[in-house]
Chains A and B, each alone.
Chain A
Amino acid sequence: MKQMMLGNEAVARGAFEGGVAFGSGYPGTPSTEILEYLAPYENVVVQWAPNEKVGLEVAMGASLAGVRALVTMKHVGLNVAADPFFSASYMGVNGGLVVVSADDPAMHSSQNEQDNRWLAKAAKVVMVEPSDAEEARWMTREAFALSEQFDTPVLFRMTTRVCHQTAVVNLEDPLEAPARGYKKDIPKYVLLPGHGRLRRHEVEKRLLAAAAFGNESDRWNPVFEGSADVGIITSGVSFSYVRETMPEASILKLGLTNPLPFERIKRFAETVKKVIVVEELDPYLEEQVRAAGVDATGQSLRPYFGELNLPLLEEALLGEARNKVTVSLADVEIPRRPPTLCPGCGHRPVFKVLRDMRIHVMGDIGCYTLGALKPLGAMESCLCMGGSVGMAEGLERFGGPDLEGRVVGVIGDSTFFHSGIAGLVDMVMNGSKATVLILDNATTAMTGAQPNPGSGVDIRGAPAPRLDPADVCRGVGVKRVVVVEPYDMENLEEVFAEELAAPEVSVVIVRAPCVLNEGVTFAEPVELDLELCNQCGLCIRVGCMAIREKDGYPEILADLCNGCGVCVQVCSEGALTIPEKVGA
Chain B
Amino acid sequence: MEKDGITNVLLSGVGGQGILTASRLLAMAALHRGFDVKMSEVHGMSQRGGNVDTHVRIGEAVPSPMIPKGGAHFLVSFEKLEALRYLDYLRPDGVAFVNRLEISPLTLALKQPNYVDDVDRILDEKAPHLIWVDGTEMARELGDVRMVNVIMLGALATRLPFLEEADWEAAVKERFAKPKVREAVANAFRKGAEVCPGR
Contacts and interface: CB of A to CB of B under 8 A. Distances in A.
A binds B: yes
B169 interface: no
A337 B43 contact: no
A370 B39 contact: no
B49 interface: yes
B134 interface: no
Contact of B116 (A243, A332, A535): A332
B123 to A, nearest CB: 10
B106 A33 contact: no
A537 B111 contact: yes
Contacts of B69: 311, 321, 323, 325
Contacts of A339: 15, 45-50
Given A108-B44, A537-B109, A327 B37 contact: no
A30 B44 contact: yes
Interface string B108-138: 1111111110000010001110000000000
Contact of B65 (A32, A240, A323, A543): A240
Interface stretch (B84-92, B160-168, B179-187, B189-197): B84-92
A166 B105 contact: no
B112 A549 contact: yes
A360 interface: no
A334 B127 contact: no
B109 A337 contact: no
A375 interface: yes
A335 B105 contact: yes
Given A309-B68, A337-B105, A543-B106, A326 B128 contact: yes
B20 to A, nearest CB: 9
A324 B45 CA distance: 31
A114 interface: no
B39 A167 contact: yes
The interface size bin for chain A is 35 or more
Nearest to A241: B64
Contact of A549 (B38, B51, B62, B113): B113
B81 interface: yes
B168 to A, nearest CB: 15
Interface in B36-70: 36-51, 62-66, 68-70
A2 B31 contact: yes
Given A323-B91, A375-B108, A543-B106, A341 B48 contact: yes
Given A168-B36, A334-B81, A334-B85, A340 B45 contact: no
B58 to A, nearest CB: 11
Interface residues of B, number: 58
B110 A552 contact: yes
Nearest to B84: A334
B48 A164 contact: no
Interface in A371-389: 374-375
Interface string A234-259: 00010011011000000000000000
B110 A537 contact: yes
Given A323-B69, A335-B116, A33 B43 contact: yes
Contacts of A332: 84, 116, 122
A117 interface: no
B70 A326 contact: yes
Contacts of B37: 4, 166-168
A30 B45 CA distance: 10
Given A243-B64, A321-B68, A161 B40 contact: yes
Contacts of B122: 332
A336 interface: yes
A29 B40 contact: no
B24 interface: yes
Contact of B41 (A166, A336, A375, A549): A166
Contacts of B139: none
Contacts of A161: 40, 65-66
B75 to A, nearest CB: 10
A367 B48 contact: yes
Given A4-B28, A167-B37, A336-B105, A552 B111 contact: yes
B64 A310 contact: yes
Contacts of A337: 14, 49-51, 81-82, 105-106
Given A168-B36, A335-B116, A329 B81 contact: no
B71 interface: yes
Contacts of A333: 116
B31 A334 contact: no
B139 to A, nearest CB: 13
Given A166-B38, A333-B116, A548 B46 contact: no
A333 B112 CA distance: 14
Contact of B107 (A33, A309, A549): A549
A451 B28 CA distance: 31
Given A322-B71, A332-B116, 12 more contacts: A166-B40, A168-B31, A241-B64, A326-B70, A326-B128, A337-B14, A337-B49, A375-B108, A537-B111, A545-B49, A548-B114, A549-B110
Interface of B: 14-15, 23-24, 27-28, 31, 36-51, 62-66, 68-71, 81-82, 84-85, 87-88, 90-92, 104-116, 122, 126-128
Q: What 7 A-B pairs come out closest when comparing CB atoms?
A: A29-B44, A537-B110, A109-B44, A323-B70, A339-B48, A240-B64, A165-B65
22 contacts: A29-B43, A29-B44, A30-B44, A108-B44, A108-B46, A161-B66, A165-B65, A166-B23, A166-B41, A240-B65, A243-B63, A309-B66, A322-B71, A326-B128, A327-B126, A329-B85, A335-B105, A338-B106, A537-B110, A537-B111, A540-B109, A547-B107
